[in-house]
Amino acid sequence: MEKSRAITPEPKASSTWERLEDFVCEHVQRFIQSLLEEEVTELLGRTKSARREAIDVTPGYRNGYGKPRHLTLKSGIITVRRPHVRDLNERFVSRVLPLFKRQTKEVGELLPQLYLHGLALGDFALALRGLLGKGAPLSPASLLRLKTQWQLEYDAWKQRRLDDLEVVYMWADGLYVKAGLEDTKAALLVMIGALTNGQKVILAVESGQRESKESWGMMLGDLRKRGLKPWRCTIADGHLGLWAALGEQYPQLAEQRCWNPRITNVLDAIPKKHQTEARTLLGAMPYAETRAACEALRTQFATRYHELAPKVAERLADD
């Protein structure tokens, strides 16, 4: 059973997430909570921290929160709380919450994709359009405040210091997202570090139309400026842009090709009815106790599937 995520403050540099999906889920949770807060701001005509003036014509006061509501996403369960309002002429009923209350497959899959697409395009208007629809229950002024708030939070996250992190391994990859609201896919360049204590931290999520040497080089340079110390080994796929940028900026670092695309490439050369068994055997190789043990498993695998799929040995031996 997945644990629900409590509402959390803006993460510090050392905040950790095991997966990019966890990162997105936490930020989507804060985003939806902000929508609920903005709905009350629009109703009362003043922000949460503003005092009510004597000349205010809108009655009502904020009065805490209701019970936690759990919303199911594809990547996990988030928890939000509807603000309460008292001393109104009529009972306050949220128009925003029902948009997310429906725990349908479509809503659960769309939310994370919309958030990632918004990151990739550098414009969160796409996510707002997808979540609220054309007849958004918030005014243009409220939507502008939400977009401004999101941009400020994202900019602050990108500028956080990284001096306190002791990174051992770095994973880097390009992620291409299509949320169904635009004609083309949007690209995100993502870097995740494993720390000396075994935890993972998402270090960078940047928009980039292509995985070029220049794009990766700018990300690496930015990490260095914010205090990130050199790590031991970088793991990535076969895109040459990253390796070229690393060769210039961090030539001393060890390099390793990622096992996930390698396993996929090998399985593509094996008939489908044999892929389940083959995947199990391939999956044992990255977890072998020693390099020699891994190479022994590789030899056994190549021997076993040589006649069935002649290309497997060649693909498995690459890099």
pLDDT at residue number 15: 57
Query: Which has more confidence, 228 or 241?
Result: 228
61 burial (CB, 10 Å; 0-12 / 13-18 / 19+) is exposed
Band (pLDDT 50/70/90 cuts) for residue 109 is low
- Which of 8-17, 176-185, 206-215, 308-317 is least confident? 8-17
**Mutual angle of helices 125-132 and 140-158, in 10-degree steps:** 130
- CA gyration radius for the chain? 24
Q: Are 200 and 17 in contact (CB under 8 A)?
A: yes
Tens of pLDDT along 155-187?
888 899 999 999 999 999 988 776 555 566 667
Q: What is the pTM of this model?
A: 0.71
Query: Which has more confidence, 99 or 40?
Result: 40
Q: Are 153 and 10 in contact (CB under 8 A)?
A: yes
- Which of 68-82, 112-126, 217-231, 302-316 is least confident? 112-126
In 3-state terms, what secondary structure has residue 169? strand
State yes or no: pLDDT of 249 exceeds 80: yes
pLDDT at residue number 285: 93
Q: Are 116 and 175 in contact (CB under 8 A)?
A: yes
Q: Are 146 and 96 in contact (CB under 8 A)?
A: no
Contacting residues for 290 by C-beta, under 8 A, at least 6 apart: none
pLDDT at residue number 93: 77
User: What mean pLDDT, rounded, does the chain reach?
Assistant: 80
Q: What is the mean pLDDT of residues 48-64?
A: 67
Q: What is the mean pLDDT of residues 39-45?
A: 83
Question: Which amino acid makes up residue 82?
Answer: R
Query: Which has more confidence, 106 or 129?
Result: 129
pLDDT at residue number 30: 83
pLDDT at residue number 164: 93
Q: Are 138 and 96 in contact (CB under 8 A)?
A: yes
Most confident of 50-54, 121-125, 172-176: 172-176
The DSSP symbol for 9 reads P
Phi, psi of 10 (to 5 degrees): -55, 130
Mode of pairing for the β-strands spanning 61-73 and 76-86: antiparallel
In 3-state terms, what secondary structure has residue 201? strand
| Residue 95 tokens, joined | 């128009």
State yes or no: pLDDT of 21 exceeds 70: yes
State yes or no: pLDDT of 3 exceeds 50: no
Contacting residues for 173 by C-beta, under 8 A, at least 6 apart: 189, 190, 236, 237, 258
Query: Which has more confidence, 3 or 39?
Result: 39
For 150, half-sphere exposure in the C-beta direction (CA atoms, 13 angstrom radius) is: 26
Q: What is the mean pLDDT of residues 135-140?
A: 70
Length of the chain: 319
- Which of 128-132, 255-259, 286-290 is least confident? 128-132
Band (pLDDT 50/70/90 cuts) for residue 154 is confident
| Residue 259 tokens, joined | 């096992």
In 3-state terms, what secondary structure has residue 73? strand
* C-alpha separations of 28 from 87, 171, 242, 256 in Å: 31, 23, 29, 33
